[in-house]
């Protein structure tokens, strides 16, 4: 079986999905902002994702082998192209709505998965979180009246937020509990 055939076979077994929004606060953001073509493989989050409790015994090595084979087959295909891939800028779109059914709200937070609750490894300059005074190292413990104990709670809380409607955010900075108001925007 050739590399291309393996890529097709792995794709059939893995059921990959494309992320249509390249404007995510992930490692790939640096490539996008620099105009460098990139490809990311992400297998999803789980309760121990980016925490000290995410230990090697939790790795599904059979799936890991399949994902590595799939990624290698794609890299081989790209490497065999006559011309190097060119970066294509995708314009951010503003759409009406909110929650998972429509456009997601944009808070401008960059998660820190190594903390309890919803720690911030940073905020996006000019975004709602920065405008609300949130900063790297803050830990969000409540948003819009919902307790935040982990990334999942935070994600679900985003569903109740409305674009343009202020929401109370309770956070901890340097051991002190504080409050602010964050006004979510539409993801552009």
Residue 188, helix vs strand vs coil: coil
Contact 179, 170 (CB under 8 A): yes
- Confidence tier at 66 by pLDDT (50, 70, 90): confident
pLDDT at 38 over 90: no
- Confidence tier at 46 by pLDDT (50, 70, 90): low
Report the pLDDT averaged over residues 141-163.
87
What proportions of the chain, in percent to the nearest 5, are helix, strand and coil?
A: 30, 20, 50
Report the pLDDT averaged over residues 114-126.
80
Is pTM beyond 0.75? Reply is no
Q: How high is the pLDDT of residue 174?
A: 94
Report the pLDDT averaged over residues 77-106.
70
Contact 113, 44 (CB under 8 A): no
Quote the CA–CA distance of 106 and 185 in Å, as a whole number: 5
Q: How high is the pLDDT of residue 96?
A: 42
Q: How high is the pLDDT of residue 171?
A: 96
Q: How high is the pLDDT of residue 2?
A: 54
DSSP secondary structure string for all residues of 103-158: PPEE--EEEETTSSSEEEEEE-TTSHHHHTT--TT-EEEEETTEE--SHHHHHHHH
Mention every residue, 6+ apart, whose C-beta is less than 8 A from residue 90. 22, 23
Q: How high is the pLDDT of residue 142?
A: 94
Q: How high is the pLDDT of residue 164?
A: 94
Cβ burial 9-46 (10 Å sphere, 16+ → b, else e) = ebeeeeeeeeeeebbeeeebeebbeeeeeeeeeeeeee
Report the pLDDT averaged over residues 151-179.
91
- Confidence tier at 163 by pLDDT (50, 70, 90): very high
* DSSP assigned state of 25: S
Q: How high is the pLDDT of residue 47?
A: 58
Mention every residue, 6+ apart, whose C-beta is less than 8 A from residue 122. 25, 110, 135, 136
Question: What percent of the chain stands above pLDDT 70?
Answer: 70
């Amino acid at each position: 079986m050739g590399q291309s055939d393996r890529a097709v076979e792995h794709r059939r077994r893995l059921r990959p999905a494309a992320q249509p929004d390249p404007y995510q606060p992930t490692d790939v953001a640096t490539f996008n902002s620099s105009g460098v073509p990139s490809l990311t493989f992400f297998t999803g989050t789980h309760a121990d994702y980016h925490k000290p409790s995410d230990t090697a015994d939790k790795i599904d090595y059979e799936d890991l082998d399949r994902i590595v084979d799939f990624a290698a087959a794609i890299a081989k295909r790209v490497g065999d192209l006559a011309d190097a891939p060119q970066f294509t800028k995708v314009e951010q779109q503003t759409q009406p709505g909110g929650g998972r059914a429509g456009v997601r709200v944009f808070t401008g937070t960059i998660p820190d998965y190594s903390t309890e609750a919803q720690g911030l490894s940073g905020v996006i300059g000019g975004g709602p979180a920065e405008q609300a005074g949130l900063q790297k190292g803050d830990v969000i413990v409540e948003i819009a009246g919902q307790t935040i104990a982990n990334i999942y709670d935070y994600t679900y809380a985003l569903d109740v937020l409305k674009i343009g409607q202020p929401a109370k955010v309770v956070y901890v900075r340097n051991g002190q509990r504080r409050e602010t108001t964050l006004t979510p925007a539409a993801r552009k």
